[in-house]
Structure 1
Amino acid sequence: MEIEANSQETSPLTSKAMWWGTLGSVRPFPNFRPERDATVLHTALEKKDVSTIVRILTNRSNAQRRSLAQVYKNFSQKELDASLKKVLSGDLQSLILGLMMIPEQFEAHRLRKAMEGAGTDEETLLEILCTRTPQQLSDIRAAYSQEYKRDLEKDLISETSGDFSKLIVALLKKEIGPGIIDQDIASLSEELKNKKPAADIWIKLLTTRNPDHLRTVLEELEFEKGQTVEDALEGHFKGILSGDLKKGLKTLVQCLQNQYLFLAQRIQTMKSSVVQGVMVAHSEEDLLRVRVAYLQSTGTSLYTALQKQFKGELQQGLLAICRAED
């Protein structure tokens, strides 16, 4: 991973270890030569050759893109992001600029966008907070603070309310500790018998235990109750507490039981912003697993679905990130 060292030199936000996973679809480009790429990009940007821009930037790893951006700046005396903004627009611009960010910057950007404007995008908040590890969330908080000069926790609190707000903050500040399986099953089982739901019990338990521990607890709870935990939550919280809280708890349970299936279902909406968000965020980490889950849940490969849904250079970029048929 010698390229990572270059990336660290070009950005103060880069973590000591990139969120690299062996199950990502995007890998380092072999025989990477940033000087050659910078020259080709410079010409493509001058000619507004969008296809070449997309081909290069979607076929390099994040660390290689960061290295390329620094070489481009030295070569042209211009910031690559600024040059890209002049040539690209719309969804394609957001895709390529997203690829240029390091992982924690990108997730911080998605969180900020989810909270801007009239309404809050709770689904995106939950997706990121439920699927990221405590260390990743710590990196995201630092990136958010540096990029926007704002406190992520305070912003999340201002955009949410009640027990849903408690859940969101607990997810952001996940602290994984020990638990006893039988005791945790008994706690949740007893809570489900209460006529007045106690959200605090669910929030505390689901945000302070190891994911493997929680999967066992949820599996045993389902066996005991004879129904899925999602169905149990739906009936238990029906009409009593906020819909956002119920949605949040069900999302958290889905992510604990099979986060790849959850992300695949997010992509099935085929909303451009959602598809881009999930694919870019997981491209170097575990997108291959999301692809498998997508095929299993829909009967269609993600590659084919993207071909049908998107056109032009945006399709070219998404297919390059997806990489192949399954």
Structure 2
Amino acid sequence: MSHGSYGYQTSPTVVPYDGFDARADAETLRKAMKGFGTDEKAIIHVLANRNNLQRQEIASQFKTLYGKDLIKDLKSELSGNMEKLVLALMMPLPQFYAKELHDALSGLGTDETVLIEVLCTMSNHEISIIKQAYEAMFRKTLEDDLMSDTSGNFKRLMVSLCCANRDESFNVDQSAAMEDARQLLQAGELRFGTDESTFNAILVQRNMAQLQQIFKEYHNITGHDIDEAIENEFSGDIKKGLLAIVKCVKNRPGFFAEQLYKSMKGLGTDDNRLIRLVVTRCEVDMGEIKNAFVQCYKESLEDFISGDCSGHYKKCLLALIQS
């Protein structure tokens, strides 16, 4: 068990491998890719059972032993979703997040789900590290790209979150919570037209425990949940962003379970999203997410993935989410 960034217990499904030997792993991978055909099973066996830092070590050992770039070799041996998944596993996490955000912001239209999934759920420290990686990789700041690629209230929410200035204490002040709950009510349901800036200021700055208290007080005053108010008062991306923050405060694993469900249900699978969620959560709280998934959808995440994906890609995903 480890503590997540918000202080509650989490159970990752990928943990540092006990008898780790980077050299032996590099040799196994080299053997798996040499000659005719690729031994995907061996690749999965190594990469899905090592954590991100260990994979970085394997890559550097591989270069030392063979004078070759492990990632280039994997790229030339694999294809399709399996290739995407393995390359995601090989990237240091801050760089992976930065790349996902950059992909979401460049190209035609902006992929708001990625921005929401990352910026609405990360701690200050995580956001700061991702921002550094972003700037190093793309020679532009994440904030500048958010400014130029998003608009309106959603843009303000994203830029505010990007500042990474949330209070991260666990202090709860009940009278302040009542005051904030009243402010939210005044800014939303009790007026004609919504004052988004109040929602923005409160949801971006208060600590998680304080937000839980604010939502409780809101329910006490109005008789319904804050989510309901946001559903009615907002629309479009800003609504999705605010709801994501609320869901994360109330039940973080539940939020990610829902994202996983959405990546697979309906016509065709959003594999980029599925890969991102599995790769980024397996070292954090995949144990809790799997429990939340069963509770919500009455089917295990394993079964859901098995019904939706195939081949080595499926095997690798399953290896990552099984502790």
Shared fold (TM-score greater than 0.5)?
Answer: yes
Q: How far apart are 1:22 and its partner, in Å?
A: 5.1
Matched, 1:154 2:150: no
> Whole-Å Cα distance in 1 between the matches of residues 52 and 164 of structure 2?
27
CA deviations on 1:166-196 (whole Å, 9 max, x unpaired) are 0011111131248721221121122220112
> Whole-Å Cα distance in 2 between the matches of residues 49 and 148 of structure 1?
35
> Whole-Å Cα distance in 2 between the matches of residues 243 and 22 of structure 1?
32
Matched, 1:254 2:244: no
Query: For residue 275 of structure 2, what is the aligned residue in structure 1?
Result: 276
**For structure 1, which runs of at least 5 residues remain unmatched after alignment?**
1-16
> Whole-Å Cα distance in 1 between the matches of residues 142 and 33 of structure 2?
35
Matched, 1:214 2:204: no
The count of aligned residue pairs is: 301
Contact 2:125 2:164 in 1 (8 A): no
State the SS of the aligned residue for 2:212: helix
Query: For residue 93 of structure 2, what is the aligned residue in structure 1?
Result: 103
**Aligned residue identity for 1:40:** T
Contact 2:10 2:288 in 1 (8 A): no
Which of 224, 230, 234 is equivalent to 1:233? Answer: 230
CA deviations on 1:198-217 (whole Å, 9 max, x unpaired) are 10000011101101100110
> Whole-Å Cα distance in 2 between the matches of residues 298 and 171 of structure 1?
30
> Whole-Å Cα distance in 2 between the matches of residues 124 and 185 of structure 1?
29
Decide which moves more: 89-98 or 223-232.
223-232
**Aligned residue identity for 2:166:** I
**Aligned residue identity for 1:147:** M
Decide which moves more: 258-267 or 109-118.
109-118
Matched, 1:314 2:307: no
Query: For residue 25 of structure 1, what is the aligned residue in structure 2?
Result: 13
- Equivalent positions of 1:1-326 (< 5 A) are 23-47=11-35, 48-177=38-167, 180-192=176-188, 193-237=190-234, 243-269=236-262, 270=264, 271-323=270-322
Q: How far apart are 1:51 and its partner, in Å?
A: 2.3
State the SS of the aligned residue for 1:27: coil
Identity of aligned residues (%): 32
**Aligned residue identity for 2:179:** Q
CA deviations on 1:63-96 (whole Å, 9 max, x unpaired) are 1111111100001101111111111122111111
State the SS of the aligned residue for 1:131: coil
Q: How far apart are 1:260 and its partner, in Å?
A: 1.1
> Whole-Å Cα distance in 2 between the matches of residues 94 and 220 of structure 1?
45
**For structure 2, which runs of at least 5 residues remain unmatched after alignment?**
265-269
CA deviations on 1:299-326 (whole Å, 9 max, x unpaired) are 11111111111111101110011115xx
**Aligned residue identity for 2:91:** M
> Whole-Å Cα distance in 2 between the matches of residues 111 and 236 of structure 1?
28
CA RMSD of aligned residues (A): 1.7
> Whole-Å Cα distance in 2 between the matches of residues 51 and 229 of structure 1?
47
CA deviations on 1:264-309 (whole Å, 9 max, x unpaired) are 0110021222111111101111111111111110111111111111
**Aligned residue identity for 2:164:** K
**Aligned residue identity for 2:186:** E
> Whole-Å Cα distance in 1 between the matches of residues 104 and 14 of structure 2?
26
> Whole-Å Cα distance in 2 between the matches of residues 301 and 201 of structure 1?
39
> Whole-Å Cα distance in 1 between the matches of residues 25 and 192 of structure 2?
64
State the SS of the aligned residue for 1:252: helix
> Whole-Å Cα distance in 1 between the matches of residues 99 and 49 of structure 2?
22
Q: How high is the TM-score relative to the length of structure 2?
A: 0.89
